[in-house]
Amino acid sequence: MSFTSTIKNELVSIELSKLEQLSELSGFLRNSIESDKKLNITTENASIARLIFNRLKNNYDALIRVSVKKGYNYNKNYIYNLEVYKNDYIIINDLSLDTNIPDIYLIDDEDSKRAYLRGVFLACGSINDPKKSRYHMEFSFNDYEYTKFINNMLESYDLNSKILKRESRYIVYVKESEKIGDFLRLIKAVNALLYYENIRIYRNKKNNLNRINNCEQANVDKIIQTAKNQVDDINLIKAKDAYDLLDDKLKEACIYRLKYKEESLLELSKIMTLETNSSITKSGLYHRFNKLKKLAEKLRNK
């Protein structure tokens, strides 16, 4: 079962007030019926089919003809068809299914707005499994004005949603992992949210650990390269017979660098302090090697 199906199966079990049920129905049916003049609903999810059947029956005393057939898609899932043939026009008018924007009473408070978005998600929403692929949530619509309406609703919750056109459809999508988690919280998909956040936290920790390891490796590479450059400078100075011109402190730095060719400046300063019984700081050692570097550059230029 896909992550999206898992979310939807959880959503259909949420207890709602009557007004929330109507808001959710409006959001779902607006994106499930092909014509605003006829209530003919098709879904591959048995739980959703059962939910819509009960909501229409309980709220509108609708008569519904149910049919099930084998699908022709790759998975050959069953397709559930609900055809309403009593009180269908009352349902269409009451739930604003013949207009782009639902009546205000369906979305006039926080609970109703969330219920409406829940219905929209049940009809045409999807979220990638965070364990298997990139973070991505999207809704698919056939009308641009309605697409903008849904996008504005999502934006009212600061979800950073965007719109794109894909063939003949309009897509509202969200790619930020934190915002997708906020949406799951918004529609009360609690179990899906816990799963999603656990995976997101794990992936973030893993990515942070990889970045730390990469930084540490980069620092190690930098230390080794710096030490190698210092050894090359010392060897050049010796090859050019300029070593005897160095003062005792510079010669001491040369001796210890050639003896400890891969140590960092900090480690080398500690070693020299320990073995010479004379305090040598990392900064002081840096200045010694900087003088050696400048001398080596002069010799190279000559």
Give the pairing type, strands 169-174 and 162-166: antiparallel
pLDDT score of 222 = 87
Q: What percent of the chain has pLDDT over 70?
A: 97
| Lowest-confidence pick of 11-25, 29-43, 86-100, 111-125 | 29-43
CA separation for the pair 287, 145 (Å, rounded): 68
Between CA 7 and CA 66 the distance in angstroms is 24
Token code pair at residue 5: 């199906």
Classified as helix, coil or strand, 33 is strand
pLDDT, one tens digit per residue, over 228-287 is: 999 999 999 899 888 888 898 999 999 989 988 888 888 989 999 988 888 989 999 999
Query: What domains are there in the chain, each with its CATH number?
Result: 3-188 (3.10.28.10), 218-301 (no CATH)
Please state, in angstroms and rounded to a whole number, the distance separating the CA atoms of residues 127 and 206. Answer: 22
Per the rule left: phi > 0, alpha: psi between -120 and 50, beta: everything else, 202 is: alpha
Do residues 252 and 272 touch, judged by C-beta distance below 8 A? yes
- Cβ contact 233:296 at 8 Å: yes
Instruction: Report residue 48's pLDDT band, with 50, 70 and 90 as the boundaries.
Output: very high
Strand partners, 126: 138
Question: pTM, whole model, 2 decimals?
Answer: 0.69
Measured CA to CA, the distance from residue 113 to residue 111 in angstroms comes to 6
CA 275 to chain centre: 53
The overall average pLDDT reported for the chain is 89
The string of DSSP letters for 100-120 reads: SS--GGGSSSHHHHHHHHHHH
Are the CB atoms for 18 and 48 separated by under 8 Å? Answer: no
Q: In one letter, which amino acid is 237?
A: I
Q: Which two tokens stand for residue 185?
A: 């919280």
Please give the span between the terminal C-alpha atoms of the chain, in angstroms, as a whole number: 74
The continuous run of DSSP H or E covering 67 comes out as strand 64-70
pLDDT digits (tens, 9 = 90+) for 76-130: 678 888 998 888 889 999 999 888 889 999 999 999 999 999 999 999 999 999 8
Helix (H, G, I), strand (E, B) or coil at 215: helix
Q: How far apart are CA 67 and CA 42, in angstroms?
A: 10
